[in-house]
């Protein structure tokens, strides 16, 4: 595949200058249109050493307005990056809608190196490539345009390029320390690259292979392809996938029915179990801090179900240096210009830290579904996207506890009325709460679908008609999950 690519042609300086001038002007025009577009552009520049990756990145920054391009290049994981799942840094650097993110090698570099120079394990390579495909699909499903360039050289050309780059002090820095070592593994790299390109080529995230033997040819080939692709995408009619409504669930079969809302604790039992659980949690979190184990607690539930009270009982027993409460409201403008999962990725816990989400990414399949803020295809796709997000956290070693605080319809009404009547509680009750209450049945269906479909990392349903009962259940569940994780070491 890689040998079959169109061979670089010599291009005269005068022809290059002419085509470059034209290209620059048109790229700027397209970039200007792009600013109002509803999607981000992700450009991946990969390729063999010496084929002009860095030069291409510089050139694109020079040709276009660099204020709207964000260039991202990655080396070894930095300490702050190691504390989060592998893909955290790619999410962190994601361009907003209307912007261009230029990724040098990006998420491809590490799996390729691992395959050829690391353990060489083929299954692991394929798993890494599947993960890439899923990641890119999640982005393109959300509207992102991904364009991937592979700059190629044959083995002999690469040798010549490396020599030439090394000879000039102004370019020697472009050569990585292990460039020659890699050159000796040329055939292995090419075989792995061909496999990689085949596995990760997708209609909205295609690879374009370009011969990197001559600078002018390569520069124009990348630039002109990029221009054509951007133009095509800007004028593309987006055809939304058709999806069916999920089948309605009868009340009897709703998972919430399994929650025993009648269970009660006596005051004495509450005090005893609360104190025991708080003290246990404190000791466990101290161990987690030392072990660098991070914990993510996530609270969803009916309005007035007692999320705040449960959160307070948890933080009471944890060193303030070790927890962070993250209230989730409507996204800010900056967050809105990103994939809906972006803001949650940003806020995932550091090593040894406990991040407590008061509401969460499940807004996508609850309020956004019910209020129509997300299209049917968007929220239906979200179950899998969320499964995948949570799984990445768990794979990284994070303890993820997901709570739904369940109360009965009558109990909610009682609490709303109590809030309305008690002066210092009345601010807690808004018109929106009453509107949500009117849609109780819709929410009940949405909660069922959510718990059933996003269950890769399991939910804990909490009987919250009695607050004492709810708080103790939450605390004990956190302790159990944390303890089990710490036993694994």
Site for its own copies, rule CB under 8 A = 24-26, 28-29, 32, 54, 57-58, 61-62, 65-69, 71, 73-75, 78-80, 102, 104, 169-170, 173-174, 278-279, 282-283, 286, 308, 311-312, 315-317, 319-321, 323-325, 327, 332-334, 358, 423-424, 427
What residues have CB less than 8 Å from 215, skipping those under 6 apart? 52, 55
Residues 6+ apart with CB under 8 A from 436: 303, 367, 443
Shortest Å distance, C-beta 283 to its own copies: 7
Is-contact 102 61, C-beta < 8 A? Answer: yes
Please give the Cα distance from 391 to 378 (Å, whole number). 20
Determine the Cα–Cα distance for residues 489 and 477; give it in Å rounded to an integer.
19
DSSP track, 425-477: GGGG--HHHHHHHHTHHHHHHHHHHHHHHS-SSPEEEEE-SSHHHHHHHHHHH
Written as six digits, the tokens of 118 are: 């690391």
Taking the complex as a whole, the smallest distance from the CB of residue 69 to its own copies amounts, in Å, to: 8
Helix axes 440-453, 376-395, angle to 10 degrees: 40
Cα Dmax for the chain:
89
* Nearest distance in Å: CB 478, its own copies: 16
Shortest distance in whole angstroms from residue 78 CB to its own copies: 8
Quote the least distance from Cβ 313 to its own copies, whole Å.
9
Distances (CA, A) of 292 to 69, 83, 266, 344, 397: 35, 8, 37, 20, 10
Supply 482's token pair.
């944390």
Taking the complex as a whole, the smallest distance from the CB of residue 456 to its own copies amounts, in Å, to: 28
R_g of the chain computed on alpha carbons: 27
343: closest CA among 22, 21, 94, 141? 94
**Contact present, 208 and 149 (Cβ < 8 Å):** yes
Helix (H) or strand (E) holding 42: strand 41-47
| Residue number with CB closer to its own copies (65 or 395) | 65
User: Which residue, 97 or 381, has its beta carbon nearer to its own copies?
Assistant: 97
CA angle 95, 371, 297 (to 5 degrees): 65
């Amino acid at each position: 595949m890689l040998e079959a690519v169109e061979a670089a042609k010599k291009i005269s300086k005068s022809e290059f200058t002419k085509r470059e001038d034209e290209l620059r002007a048109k790229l700027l025009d397209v970039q200007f249109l792009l600013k109002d577009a509803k999607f981000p552009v992700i450009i991946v520049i990969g390729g063999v050493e010496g084929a002009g990756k860095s030069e291409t990145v510089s050139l694109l920054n020079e040709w276009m307005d660099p204020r709207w391009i964000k260039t991202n290049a990655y080396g070894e994981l930095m300490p702050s990056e190691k504390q989060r799942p592998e893909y955290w840094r790619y999410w962190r650097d994601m361009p907003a809608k209307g912007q261009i993110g230029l990724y040098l090698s990006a998420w491809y570099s590490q799996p390729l190196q691992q395959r050829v120079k690391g353990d060489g394990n083929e299954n692991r390579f394929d798993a890494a490539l599947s993960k890439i495909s899923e990641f890119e699909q999640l982005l393109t499903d959300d509207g992102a345009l991904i364009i991937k360039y592979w700059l190629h050289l044959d083995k002999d050309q690469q040798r010549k390029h490396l020599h030439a780059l090394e000879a000039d002090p102004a370019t020697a820095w472009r050569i990585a320390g292990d460039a020659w070592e890699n050159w000796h593994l040329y055939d292995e790299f090419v075989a792995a690259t061909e496999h990689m390109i085949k596995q990760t080529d997708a209609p909205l995230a295609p690879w374009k292979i370009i011969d990197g033997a001559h600078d002018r040819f390569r520069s124009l080939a990348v630039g002109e392809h990029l221009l054509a692709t951007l133009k095509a995408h800007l004028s593309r009619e987006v055809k939304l996938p058709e999806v069916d409504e999920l089948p309605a669930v009868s009340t009897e079969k709703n998972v919430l029915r399994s929650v025993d809302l009648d269970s009660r604790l006596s005051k004495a039992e509450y005090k005893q179990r609360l104190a025991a659980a708080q003290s246990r949690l404190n000791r466990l979190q101290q161990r987690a801090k030392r072990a660098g184990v991070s914990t993510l607690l996530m609270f969803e539930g009916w309005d007035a179900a007692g999320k705040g009270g449960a959160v307070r009982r948890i933080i009471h027993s944890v060193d303030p240096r070790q927890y962070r409460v993250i209230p989730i409201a409507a996204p800010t403008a900056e967050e809105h210009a990103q994939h809906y999962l972006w803001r949650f990725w940003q806020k995932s816990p550091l090593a040894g830290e406990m991040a407590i989400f008061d509401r969460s990414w499940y807004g996508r399949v609850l309020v956004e579904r019910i209020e129509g803020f997300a299209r049917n295809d968007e929220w239906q796709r979200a179950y899998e996207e969320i499964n995948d997000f949570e799984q990445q956290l768990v794979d990284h070693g994070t303890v993820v506890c997901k709570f739904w605080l369940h109360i009965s319809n009558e109990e909610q009404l009682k609490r709303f009325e109590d809030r309305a009547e008690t002066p210092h509680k009345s601010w807690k009750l808004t018109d929106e709460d009453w509107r949500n209450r009117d849609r109780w049945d819709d929410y009940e269906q949405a909660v069922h679908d959510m718990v059933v479909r996003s269950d890769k990392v399991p939910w804990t349903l909490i009987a919250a008609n009695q607050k004492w009962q709810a708080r103790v259940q939450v605390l004990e569940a956190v302790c159990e999950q944390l303890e089990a994780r710490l036993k694994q070491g």
